[in-house]
Structures are given as structure tokens and as C-alpha cells.
Amino acid sequence: MDWSANPADKLRIDEVGLEYACHGPAPGDAPTLVLLHEGLGCVAMWRDFPAQLAARTGLGVLVYSRQGYGGSDPVTRPRPLDFQTREALEVLPAILDAAGIRQAILLGHSDGATIAAIHAGSVAGHRIRGVILEAPHFFTEPGGLASITEARAAYESGDLKQKLARYHADPDGAFLGWNDAWLDPGFATWNVAEVIDYIRVPILAIQGRQDQYGTLAQIEEIESRAYCPVDTLILDCRHEPHRECADRVLDEVAEFCSRLLRIEAADVIPA
């Protein structure tokens, strides 16, 4: 794996090529923050946030585009309704293995936060040391589904398709793969909140009060179910705190990571 901001080739996972970028120290030199993007995101849409994270935390940062997004290989539609669980249990472990990551902190946004939570609550082992969940979804909400319906109208008759085409090689695959799944009638009862019960590492949960895709009920679900330490950061913004309140999010993430590293160091000091 080419640990650089502009790798020459895609990362290949089960014959699927995934676009990726790396910042900061390689996995053999420091723990790694692994960034998992939102339902319409990709490597480029994180902008300079990964590089800023590496600079602020001193950790390595791996960011990749899931299949069907950014410059990654296209995806076959329709996506299965359990696509987030499949990403968490099948694809993400293979990526961590391929990158040689032995100590990871998962930072997921929106669908990526859900994938991070499912992985942390389902995959046994000590590789995951903490999870940062930004605007996570554990169950559907009427307001969120209404906003996803509005996004469909913006894609079909507005300029959303043109905007997404700047970032995604296959904008139809990126948008419709996400939108069709969320608006499928069978998805209305989707609920993966049970995974919270099994997370055994510290959690930082971040949410905007004006998030158009989810309410504070998602954060309250974490607080009411988690058996591990939970820090929350509620901000006056919409669905993208890491862009809308970048400095505050960087501060909180850096402090969360620093605290995890201090705990790790204390754990290995001989009595």
C-alpha cells in the first residue's frame, strides 16, 4: 500500500479498486484514524479535513471512497438494504488488513458513522481503540426520509447531479445507490441500534442541532444504550459539523484522540 496523499494505484479489495489517500505517519509508526464518508461522500469531499486531522493529532489518517463513490470502481445497483452492515463486516476489515493497521480509531460521518458503529460493535478484537460518530443513523426518522426525498427531486430536476459529477466518476451510481436504498419501503423499519450495546471502546458522538437528516434522538440512543464512556458534542449546524464547525470539531477530535493515547500509555506502564 502506497502510504501517501496521492497514491499511484487504487487499493484492491476482493478485485474491487478503491480510491484512497493517506496522511501523517504510517500504521507502523502511530495509530491510524480511518475516515468513513457519508452516503454521498468520497475522498475529495473531505477536502482538507484529513490532512488537518493528521497535523492536529500526530496520527496517521486513511481515507477511502467506498465502491460506487469518487474514483472507486462502480457498484451494481440496486444496493442491498443491509449495505451498511456489509461494508462494516466485510469490506472494512479487509481494508484495515490490507493497510496493516493494528491500532485504529474510526471516524465516520452519517452512513459512515453507522458503518463505524456496526464494525466496532460486531467485530471482535483489540484493533479498534475508539469511535467518533458524526451525525450517525441507527434507525430511520420521518424528517430524515423527507430530506432524502427532497434530495431526489434536486437530483432529478435541479443541479445536484452536476455538483456530484465533480466528485464521482459515476454520479448515478453514487446517488441512486444511496437514495434508492433509503427510500425503499423495506428500509422504513431499518434499525441497527442494537450494535451500540456491544461497543466496548470510548465513543465521541457529534451532531448538529439543525441536522436535516437526523435528530438528537440518534445521539440519545447512544447515551442510553452504551456501556462504554461516551462524550457528546452538540453544535449549532446542519449535517456536516466537520465543515460547518471545523475548528470546534478538530479541537474535540484531537482531545479525544489524545485522551485515548494517554489511556493506552497508562495501560502498558508496569505496576
**Which CATH superfamily does the domain covering 11-264 fall into?**
Alpha/Beta hydrolase fold, catalytic domain (3.40.50.1820)
Question: What is the per-residue pLDDT across 26-37, written as a single tens digit (0 to 9) for each?
Answer: 999 999 999 999
Residue range 202-208: average pLDDT? 98
pTM of the model: 0.96
- Report the share of the chain in percent with pLDDT over 90: 96
| pLDDT tens column, 66-93 | 999 999 999 999 999 999 999 999 999 9
With b for 16 or more beta-carbon neighbours within 10 A and e for fewer, the 18-51 pattern comes to: bbbbbbbbbbeebbbbbbbbbbbbbbbbbeebbb
In the numeric block, which cell numbers belong to residue 19?
480510491
Q: What pLDDT does residue 266 have? A: 81
Query: Around Cβ 157, how many Cβ atoms within 10 Å?
Result: 9
Are the C-beta atoms of 98 and 17 separated by less than 8 Å?
A: no
Laid out side by side, the sheet with 60-64 consists of 20-23, 60-64, 32-36, 104-109, 128-134, 203-208, 230-235
Mean pLDDT of 112-138: 97
**pLDDT cut 70: percent of the chain above it:** 98
Distance from CA of residue 6 to its chain's centroid?
21
